[in-house]
Amino acid sequence: MFEHDKDLTSLTTFGIPAKASLFAEYSSEKELLKISRTDEFINNEVLHIGGGSNLLFVNDFNGLVLHSAIRGIERYDKNGETAYAIAGAGVKWTDFVEWCIESGLAGVENLAGIPGEVGAAPVQNVGAYGVEAKDVIFSVKCFDTVTRETKTFKNEECNFGYRDSRFKHEWKGRYIVLQVSFKLTPSTLAANLEYGPLKALESKLGHTPSIREVADEVVAIRNTKLPDPAVTGSAGSFFKNPVVSRYFYEEEMLAVNPDVPCYYVDEHRVKIPAGWLIEHSGLKGLRIGGAMVYPHQCLVIANSGNASASDVTRLADRIIDTVRRKMGITLHPEVNFIDTSMEITILGSGTSKGVPEVGCACKLCRSPYVKDKRLRASALVKTHGMDILIDVSPDFREQALKNGIYQLDAALITHSHYDHMGGIDDLRPFCAEGDFPIYLKEDVLLDLKRRLDYCFREQRYPGVPGFATREVADMPFFINGLKIIPISVMHGKLPILGYRIGDFAYITDAKTLPDEELGKLEGLKVLVVNALRPRKHFAHMSFDEAVEFIGKIKPEEAYLTHFNHEAGFHHDLESKFGPHIHPCYDGLKIRIL
């Protein structure tokens, strides 16, 4: 059932070498159910891949990779005006489009030539030449990896957006697509000719193009712009087209270059073509190792034949940095970075008053040493190509500027005390393309809505941040496929949360943990936990209590945070707790491979 040390190179369109510790392919829902009950599935990180057209394995995957071999296409006609095509998730997308054309079904001809499999269509909301998958998807049948049941979602439940859906966010990692039902039109005439080159096709032919003629034209256009994955590896469009304020576009960008193209999103925002930004930043054809900016379409990073994942990531970083400096815009990858390594940055290591405390003249508060300056507690976790913030302290603006935070994918909130969520309004720069995801308990959400009611009104003032709030309960949840385990913690008498992400756990403001929660912390490589001061406190662990707690959990390495000014000087703390317990300081980076 399982293959070990599986070579994944041929399963991605980038063609960059990578291996998976475990690999399994299934050809039916029954086989997937059987796999989901195995120790290999339960005890490993699980990644489901399709045609591999939107993936970059940054390193070997230390977990289980699944792939669907559910194939077959069925057709059901309804009253002569509508036909439903139901395709297995493992059907190649190009084969599905060809089947529709051969069957005289219009609706997907504009999507010809897109690499990948049918199962990716609702996940990515694939689109091209004036048509998106959401325009033709009727429903999506999925396997729920939590309940091990089958569930079918209607189109409107999937929250389709530009190259986006719920399958890329809160549903990723939980639901595996089994089949997709498409609502099509029995016709041999093309359904959508609004895209520029297709309008020209109608004029050139002198008649309304057939679905075959449109598909052939689309493939011909794609071949002039995009590399053939069979010859030159790539993941297609590497970056999303950025959305910026209309003011920034009209007052700053056009003032420097009046030829900057845009598409108006609404009266306040515009979308800029990322390929144009890359090309006009002087990056066309740029190479790092075997990775290059594809000369015919700068939105593509191509594998010239011997690229490593490091080459691609370094080139992507160079592109992002150069475009930011020259154009004032931060590009965000559309490609999924599969990277099980982790980097944690301690943005703040102080307690609610911070250090130095206002008005205090103690020796520590007067210390000139930078590691004795402690902003309010929070952390940034980088993994799987995502940047996840844990708590948004009142010092977040300063923390973001000091640490060069240009993008965030989500925020995890531990509790509603002001020193842990007082900076939420400063997340507004990350709301430009839509509501920013925040994960929090129900009581914390109610408190947030009370404090920042202007962010939750039906008609918000322009520029006010918007949040996609996700309520956290006792069950694990997923952020873009990354499994997050909430840890119930007692902050005195107040129940709050800590979080486990892979081999890392972050717990702050804890006094005690219920015994039943300790099992969630087994096998940690890194634990960050609060240790307020040497003296005991009614709601926080003291130094001795934190050390005792670490002894129960037995992580490979532990870090203490949430210090007040009684904790003392950092250089004294460095040798206080033993070789595997370290004091945090602002800006500390912890890496887990």
Model pLDDT for residues 545-560, shown as the tens digit of each residue:
999 999 999 999 999 9
Phi/psi of residue 215, nearest 5 degrees: -60, -45
Q: Is 217 helix (H, G, I), strand (E, B) or coil?
A: helix
d(CA 316, CA 336): 13
Instruction: Count CB-CB contacts under 10 A for residue 134.
Output: 20
pLDDT digits (tens, 9 = 90+) for 507-530: 999 999 999 999 999 999 999 999
pLDDT value at residue 483: 86
Phi/psi of residue 480, nearest 5 degrees: 50, 40
Task: Give yes or no for residue 405 having a pLDDT over 80.
Answer: yes
- The CA–CA distances, whole Å, from 402 to 149, 347, 365, 505 equal 46, 9, 21, 24
List 237, 349, 367, 393, catalytic entry: 237
Half-sphere exposure of 520 (CA within 13 A, CB side): 23
**Comparing 191-195, 298-302, 535-539, which segment has the lowest mean pLDDT?**
191-195
- Is residue 367 within 8 A of residue 575, CB to CB? The reply is no
Q: Determine the average pLDDT of the residues in 108-115.
A: 92
**Buried-state track 523-551, b at ≥16 Cβ within 10 A, e below 16:** ebebbbbbbbbeeebebbbbbebbbebbe
- Is residue 299 within 8 A of residue 237, CB to CB? The reply is yes
List 163, 269, 500, 533, catalytic entry: 163
Task: Give yes or no for residue 375 having a pLDDT over 90.
Answer: yes
Which amino acid belongs to residue 268? H
Our answer to whether residue 139 is catalytic in this structure is: no
Half-sphere exposure of 132 (CA within 13 A, CB side): 12
| DSSP class per residue in 452-490 | TGGGSSSSPPTT---EEEEE--SS-EEETTEEEEEEEEE
Our answer to whether residue 163 is catalytic in this structure is: yes
List, in order, residues 6 or more apart from 453 with CB less than 8 Å away.
Answer: none
List 334, 433, 517, 545, catalytic entry: 334
Q: Determine the average pLDDT of the residues in 551-579.
A: 96
pLDDT value at residue 193: 83
Looking at per-residue pLDDT, the higher value among 422 and 255 belongs to 422
pLDDT value at residue 101: 97
Task: Give yes or no for residue 169 having a pLDDT over 90.
Answer: no
pLDDT value at residue 138: 97
pTM metric for this prediction: 0.80
Look over the chain and give the mean of its residue pLDDT values, rounded to a whole number.
92
Task: Give yes or no for residue 199 having a pLDDT over 80.
Answer: no
The continuous run of DSSP H or E covering 343 comes out as strand 342-348
Residue 493: band (very low, low, confident or very high) from pLDDT cuts 50, 70, 90: very high
pLDDT value at residue 140: 98
Q: Is 348 helix (H, G, I), strand (E, B) or coil?
A: strand
Task: Give yes or no for residue 10 having a pLDDT over 90.
Answer: no
Q: Determine the average pLDDT of the residues in 429-456.
A: 92
In the DSSP assignment, the letter for residue 347 is E
- Is residue 112 within 8 A of residue 95, CB to CB? The reply is no
- Is residue 392 within 8 A of residue 377, CB to CB? The reply is no
pLDDT value at residue 43: 84
- The CA–CA distances, whole Å, from 239 to 43, 229, 331 equal 33, 18, 7
Q: Determine the average pLDDT of the residues in 292-312.
A: 92
Q: Is 198 helix (H, G, I), strand (E, B) or coil?
A: helix
The continuous run of DSSP H or E covering 558 comes out as strand 557-561
Task: Give yes or no for residue 55 having a pLDDT over 90.
Answer: no
Task: Give yes or no for residue 230 having a pLDDT over 80.
Answer: no
Phi/psi of residue 551, nearest 5 degrees: -60, -30
Task: Give yes or no for residue 422 having a pLDDT over 80.
Answer: yes
Pairing status of strand 61-68 against strand 46-49: parallel
pLDDT digits (tens, 9 = 90+) for 327-374: 999 898 888 888 888 999 999 999 999 999 999 999 999 999 999 999
Burial zone of 321 (CB within 10 Å; 0-12 exposed, 13-18 middle, 19+ buried)? middle
Q: Determine the average pLDDT of the residues in 230-234.
A: 83
List, in order, residues 6 or more apart from 321 with CB less than 8 Å away.
Answer: none
pLDDT value at residue 128: 86
Going by C-alpha positions, the residue among 257, 403, 226 that lies closest to residue 329 is: 257
Going by C-alpha positions, the residue among 270, 243, 170, 164 that lies closest to residue 431 is: 243
Residue 227: band (very low, low, confident or very high) from pLDDT cuts 50, 70, 90: confident
Percent of the chain residues topping a pLDDT of 70: 100
Q: Determine the average pLDDT of the residues in 172-201.
A: 88
pLDDT value at residue 164: 85
